[in-house]
Structure 1
Amino acid sequence: MVIRVGSGMDKLREMEIFVAIVERGSFTGAAEKVGMSAAAVSRAVNSLESRLGTHLLARTTRTVRPTDAGMTYLEACRKVLDTITDAEADIAADQLNPVGTLTISAPVLFGQRYVAPLVNAFALRYPDVSINAVYVDRTTRLLEEGVDIAIRVGHLGDSSTFAVPLGFVRRRTYAAPSYLAAHGEPLHPKDLTNHHCVSFTGVSPPLEWVFNEKGSRLPVRLQPRMIVDLGPAAVLAAVDGVGIIQLLSYQAAPEVADGRLQPVLTSFEPESIPVSLLHVERRSTSGKIRAFVEFVTGTLRENAHLQGVDATATRTSR
C-alpha cells in the first residue's frame, strides 16, 4: 500500500515528532526518541509548519520552544496521541491492570517522606506501569513537560489541570532547642532582626519572611546568616543550631516529633497552604492515571501532617 504525503498516518507521525521536540527540548533529543535522524525530524517539522501555514517552534542556537500557536497545537497533538495510546492500552489490558508510562512530580522533601513510599507500593501493585518519578522543588508544567500527575504544595492558578484536594500545610517558624538555650526565644517576628536566621528559598524569599498579626500581613526584613536552596540541607542547618528557620509544617515534622526542632512565633503564623494532586483533565480517563489517583488520594488525605495537626501532637506515636 502506498501512503500519500499528508495522509492520516503521516499526520500522526508529524504530531509524535513535534511533541517529542517540545518534551526533549531539541531536534537531536527528539530524533533519539522517535528513532529518526535529526535531519528527518527537521524535514518533518518544516513540512508540518508549511502545511499549517504558521511557525510552531521558536528556534535559537541553544533552545527550541513552542510558539503560542505551537502550544495550542501541542495540546491538540497530545489529546489525539493520548486518545490513541489509551485506546490501545484498553484493548491490551483490562482497566484493573493499567499499562504505560506514568510521570509523577512532587517537591523533594514531600516526595521523599510521603509520595515515594506510595509510588513504590503502586509500582508493586501494577507491574505493567513504568514510572518516571521527578522530585524537584519547583513548579512543573504538566502540559509542556509531559507530566501526568503533580503533587502541588501551594495555591493553584493553572486552569488547564484538574485538582484533587489532599489537605493543607502551614508555614511555621522553628528553632533547635540548643539555639534557643544559647540565644533565647523571639516573642515577636520583629525580634528576628536580633537573631541568626537560616533562609530556605523553597519556602520564603531569603531576605523577607511573612507573618500574620491580627489578621494582617506582617513582612519582616532579614539579614540571614545562611541561605539554602535545598530542603534537607536547610532543615539540617536549623537542627544543628545555625539559626531560626521558616519551613512548611510537613518539612519539619520528624524533627519536631523527636525534639530536634520546636515551633516558635506560633501566634503569628500565616494562612494555611493547600496541597493538591493535579492531572490534565483530558487524561482523566486514562487507566494508569485513574488508578494512581485512587491509590494515593485516601492515604494522603489521612496523613495527619496534611490536616492541620501539629507535629508535636504525634510525638508519642512515632
Structure 2
Amino acid sequence: MNLNDVNVFVRVVEAGSFVGAGKLLSMPPTTVSRKVQQLEANLGVRLLNRSTRKLSLTDAGEQYFCHCHQHMLGIEEANQWVSQAQTYPKGRLRITAPLDFAVMYVQPWINAFLMRYPEVDIELKLTDHQVDLIEERIDVAFRSGVLSDSSLVARRLLPKISVCCASHDYLARHGAPVHPRQLTDHQCVLWGNAVQGQSWHFRSEQQQLDVPVRGRYAADATQLLIEAAVAGVGIAKLPRPLVEPYVERQQLRVLFPEFEIPSGNMYVVYQSHRYLSQCVRQFIDFVLQQLPD
C-alpha cells in the first residue's frame, strides 16, 4: 500500500474536489484522480462517488477516511517532532562508560548537558566491559583500547597514562622497588580476571621494558584496584588522574616517575550512520568542547 496515495485521498476529502486537493499537494488534478483510482484498485473497493458536480464518500470511503485521517495526523505530528528534534535536542540518550572515567569526566559532562537541554533524558550504564551498542540500544559509549567493530565511529578524547603506585604501609613492609624490573619480586594488584600471565609495559628515553608481574588479587574494576592498593595488598598500575587525590592525601606513593606507562587512549564511540540524531550529535560535540586543546 502506497501511503502517498492514502494521503492524496485524505486531501481530496478535506478539499472536496480533485482540483482543491491538487492545489494543496501542488500536483495536477489528473494526477490526484489517478492516485485515488490506484488506491481504490489496490483496496478493491470504491471510496468516492464521482459526478460532474461534486464528490461524495461511499460508506466504505467514509469509514476508511475516518481511520486514515487520524493516522495521517499522527504521522504529521511524528514528522514535526523529528524535525524539531533535529533542530533542538530532545528525547532519551543512552550512554555507557567505565565507572572511574564516568566519575571523573562523564558525570560532570552529563550534569552540564542536562542543564543546557531540559528536554533531554539520559540513562547511564556503568561497566568496564565493552557492550554491543546495537543490542543494548546504546547511543554513545566511552571506551579505551582497540575498536573491533568497523561499523562504529571512534573519536579520540584523551590519552590514558598510568603510573605504578603502592601504599606507604606496603612499601614499609616489602621495600620500595627503584626499577620496574624489581616488580618480579613484589605482589601486584592486577587488572582482569586472572592472577597469572600478565606483564606491564614501561617506556623511558633510554629503553622500553615488558615486565612480567604476579599477584594474589585481580579485579576488573579500577576503583577496586585503587582500594586494594590503598589497603596495602600490592603495587598497582592505575590511571594517573585517578591516583592523584590519593597521592596528595599520602595514601599512595608513585613509583618509577622517570618511566611512562602508556595505556592507549579513551574514545567516544557511536554508531556510524548518515542521519545521526541531533541529541547524539549535540552531546558528542558538547563533550569534545570540554576537552583541553
Task: Decide: shared fold, TM above 0.5.
Answer: yes
Q: 1:256-294: CA deviations, max 9, x gaps?
A: 343322221344434341111111121663110111112
Is residue 86–residue 287 contact of structure 1 (8 Å, CA) maintained in 2? no
**Corresponding position: 1:178 with 2:169:** yes
SS in 2 for 1:121: helix
**Corresponding position: 1:247 with 2:238:** yes
**Corresponding position: 1:107 with 2:98:** yes
Correspondence list, 1:125-144, <5 A: 125-144=116-135
CA distance in 1, matches of 2:248, 2:275: 38
Report the alpha carbon displacement of residue 85 of structure 1 after superposing the two structures with TM: 11
Go from structure 1 to structure 2 and tell me whether the alpha carbon gap of 1:289 and 1:206 turns closer, same or farther (over 3 Å shift).
farther
Go from structure 1 to structure 2 and tell me whether the alpha carbon gap of 1:255 and 1:94 turns closer, same or farther (over 3 Å shift).
same
SS in 1 for 2:262: coil
Q: What amino acid sits opposite 2:202 in the alignment?
A: N
Which consecutive unaligned segments of at least 5 residues does structure 2 have? Answer: 4-75
Q: 1:288 aligns with which of 275, 279, 283?
A: 279
SS in 1 for 2:273: helix
SS in 1 for 2:147: coil
Correspondence list, 1:179-194, <5 A: 179-194=170-185
Go from structure 1 to structure 2 and tell me whether the alpha carbon gap of 1:216 and 1:245 turns closer, same or farther (over 3 Å shift).
same
- Bigger CA drift: 186-195 or 265-274? 265-274
Go from structure 1 to structure 2 and tell me whether the alpha carbon gap of 1:241 and 1:251 turns closer, same or farther (over 3 Å shift).
same
Larger C-alpha radius of gyration, 1 or 2?
2
Q: What amino acid sits opposite 2:152 in the alignment?
A: T
Report the alpha carbon displacement of residue 247 of structure 1 after superposing the two structures with TM: 1.5
SS in 2 for 1:282: coil
Q: 2:199 aligns with which of 185, 209, 214?
A: 209
CA distance in 2, matches of 1:193, 1:105: 36
Instruction: Give the equivalent residue in structure 1 for 2:82.
Output: 90
Instruction: Give the equivalent residue in structure 2 for 1:265.
Output: 256
TM-score of the aligned structures, taking structure 2 as reference length: 0.65
CA distance in 1, matches of 2:197, 2:234: 14
Q: What amino acid sits opposite 1:173 in the alignment?
A: C
Between the two proteins, the alignment pairs up a number of residues equal to 220
SS in 1 for 2:125: strand
Q: 1:35-83: CA deviations, max 9, x gaps?
A: xxxxxxxxxxxxxxxxxxxxxxxxxxxxxxxxxxxxxxxxxxxxxxxxx
Go from structure 1 to structure 2 and tell me whether the alpha carbon gap of 1:114 and 1:170 turns closer, same or farther (over 3 Å shift).
same
Instruction: Give the equivalent residue in structure 2 for 1:279.
Output: 270
SS in 1 for 2:237: strand
SS in 2 for 1:181: helix
Q: 1:220 aligns with which of 191, 196, 212?
A: 212
SS in 2 for 1:288: helix
Percent of aligned positions with the same letter in both sequences? Answer: 32
